[in-house]
Amino acid sequence: MINKNLVFLLPILFLLLNQVHVNAVTHNYAPRNIDVERSPKNILVGSYVGGRSHIKPMLDVTTILAERGHNVILLTFGKFEPSSEYPGLKQITLGPSVSTVKENKRLKVNSDVDFRTMAEFMKLSINTYNETYEKYKNVVKEYNIDLFFCDILTNEVCIDAAHNLKKPVVGFTSFLQLVDQKSYKSDPFFGCSISLENESFFERFRCNLIQPLQNAYALWAPNRQLNDLRNKMNIKMVSGILPKLSLALVDNFFGFELPQSLTPNVQEIGPVLSDEYPPLTPEISNFINLHKRVLYVAFGGRFFTTTENNNKILQSLVEVINKKLVDGVIWALSETSKDDFYPTLNLTDGTQLQTLPVLNNKHPHIHITKFAPQFAVLNHTNTKLFFSHGGTGSVHESLYAGVPMLVLPLGGDQRGNAQRLATAGVALSLNKYSLDVNDIVNKIDSLLKDEHVKKNSERMKFLARINSKRKYRAADLVEYILYSNSLLDKYVGDEFLKEWISIESRMGFIKANDLDIYGALIGVILVLIGGITIKLTSNRSSSSFKIKSKKA
């Protein structure tokens, strides 16, 4: 008989022998080689609008490429001053910034920054088109550029230069509608809601037929002027945004952007975030550590609101502190000055408060600063809510930190972002034309107490963090374009990257949607119906004729 102790030892012995066998077999396998052969290439990053919101995400992608040995040159108006964040990056300026924030302050306060504003930007870019195009040509020649990386917004000169100099071009945007429009989606920037799924027939009719005509009319004059200029300069034109681009990278992600099918050469790679951010300043660190429920307020550096709205915002901050909804407020006043406030606040309890002492940080629970390390503030455990304009960079950072938002859209893509955040269940929004203190206070109260908002914020935090890794995929795709282009004797649009241009785009609308087949089927059915109708009519006529003949 087998000893009972051996019965218990046999399974353990079996597992040990099996592991030994597995290890022995594993050692006979060759490891998978994931390295790729690469030689240093020269990449030109071009942006007309400039500023951190447009340039920084592009540089976060090209930083990965620089770490892989490639050379990156930034070409833009103004001075980005990226040396501290992106050491080794070479910047060439196109000249002074074509439009400063202060020059357009009145426009941005009193009107919506929408598709009509894009027409104004196009007119400005056309004024410098000739000179800018020559600078692109000179940079390409001097630095032997292999690939263009172009910010899409009103940056036709970058894309035109790439095509006419036979270089592949990668487009970059956070605005998916600019590169892949769908009939069931739109954006307040274009005069409609982000989703037409539940809209009425008349609203869908307006957004798909009437509104595009209005948009086209607004852009017709600058487009005609641009095409005339191209003809004078003998610059070859390419129709359609996607045929112009080898690849379109979109700084967005599912969960925030409403889902849609994408062609292979359009890739969502957001949220693009830096690997490192500035830490808290000593003053902000001391303030935020002393307050357990902090409201962070920031509206970016490009947009403004009215003096009346500034006072309403400041009053609402005092009110939420008095109501003990929060115990601390940090407000980053970037371009807004103390002159943009009225001298007195009339509080709801009937008392008055002078604004100047508050703005001078005399209030114990409100900290006013010109600059705040936003990412560090949002990621502090004491920050409970973000009162923002809803710019893409701010939205991505807030979602990454899991902080719900109260959004005051001031222009551009911000109204669409506010709608997306509300759809995701992590934000409420305000209207800059009808701002009300009680509305602000009530919405802050709701956002801080709503359990659904907290759960949705955690869900979006997870999505933002796992998708933030996709900037490495963006770098991989750019390298693939460089590698593919190097295999060709010269850049030929009909052959280059043909493998990821969708069949639908090559077949055309009619063939891709089988409309010719359905048309033929309808034709056959109509012929059959017509034949049967003629035959029945003929038989009836023949029968009637026979009856009349018999009677005769």
Examine residue 538 and state whether it is found in any structural domain, yes or no: no
The answer, yes or no, to whether residue 61 has pLDDT greater than 90, is yes
Residue 440 lies in a domain: yes
How confident is residue 242, by pLDDT bands cut at 50, 70 and 90? low
* 166: Cβ contacts below 8 Å, ≥ 6 apart: 490, 491
325 with 376, same domain? yes
pLDDT of residue 102: 43
Judge if 406 and 325 occupy the same domain.
yes
225 & 255 share domain: yes
Q: Residue 430 — very low, low, confident or very high, per pLDDT cuts 50/70/90?
A: very high
At residue 107, the pLDDT reads 43
Listed residues 467, 484, 513: the one ending a domain:
467
pLDDT of 24 reads: 47
> In the prediction, which pLDDT does 158 show?
94
pLDDT of residue 149: 97
Query: What pLDDT is recorded for position 2?
Result: 47
Looking at the domain assignment, is residue 547 inside a domain? no
Q: Does 227 have pLDDT greater than 70?
A: yes
Q: Which of 133-137, 193-197, 512-516 shows the lowest mean pLDDT across its residues?
A: 512-516
Q: What is the pLDDT of residue 105?
A: 47
Domain end, chosen from 420, 444, 467, is at 467
Residues 325 and 222 in one domain: no
Asked whether residue 459 falls in the same domain as residue 490, the answer is no
Count CA atoms within 13 Å of residue 495 on its CB side.
9
Structural domain total, the chain: 2
pLDDT computed for residue 543 by the predictor: 65
Spatial neighbors of 385 by CB under 8 A, at least 6 apart, are: 295, 296, 326, 403, 404, 405, 406, 444, 447, 448
pLDDT top residue among 151 and 89:
151
Residue 375 confidence (pLDDT) above 60: yes
Give the confidence band of 1 by pLDDT, cuts at 50, 70, 90. very low
pLDDT of residue 101: 41
More confident residue, 551 or 309: 309
What is the extent of the structural domain holding 289?
282-467
**Section 260-266 average pLDDT:** 88
Contact assessment for residue 334 and residue 371, using Cβ atoms and an 8 Å cutoff: yes
Cα angle: 381, vertex 384, 390; to 5 degrees: 120
Tell me if 423 is assigned to some domain: yes
Residue-level pLDDT at 298: 95
Structure tokens at 33: 């080689």
Q: Is there a single domain that holds both residue 349 and residue 266? A: no
Rounded percentage of the chain residues whose pLDDT exceeds 90: 57
- 128 with 211, same domain: the answer is yes
Question: What single letter denotes the amino acid at residue 127?
Answer: N
Q: Are residues 188 and 212 in the same domain?
A: yes
Binned at pLDDT 50, 70 and 90, residue 95 comes out as confident
Q: What is the mean pLDDT of the chain?
A: 86
Higher pLDDT, 467 or 503: 467
Please tell me whether residues 229 and 88 are part of one structural domain. Answer: yes
Query: In terms of domains, do 131 and 201 share one?
Result: yes
Enter the pTM of the model: 0.86
Mean pLDDT over 258-270 rounds to 90
Q: Say if strands 344-346 and 352-354 run parallel, antiparallel, or are unpaired.
A: antiparallel
pLDDT tier, 484 (very low <50, low <70, confident <90, very high otherwise): confident
User: What is the average pLDDT across 27-43?
Assistant: 82
Q: What is the rounded average pLDDT of the residues 140-163?
A: 93
Whether residues 316 and 457 fall in one domain: yes
CATH number at residue 403: 3.40.50.2000
For residue 549, what pLDDT band results from cuts at 50, 70 and 90?
low
Confirm whether 540 is domain-assigned.
Answer: no
Q: 8 lies in a domain?
A: no
For residue 498, being part of any structural domain is answered with yes
Per-residue pLDDT tens digits for 11-34 = 555 555 565 454 544 568 888 877
What pLDDT shows up at residue 100? 44
User: Are both 203 and 268 inside the same structural domain?
Assistant: yes
In the prediction, which pLDDT does 477 show? 95
Does residue 549 form part of some domain?
Answer: no
Measured CA to CA, the distance from residue 153 to residue 118 in angstroms comes to 8
Position with higher pLDDT, 36 vs 105? 36
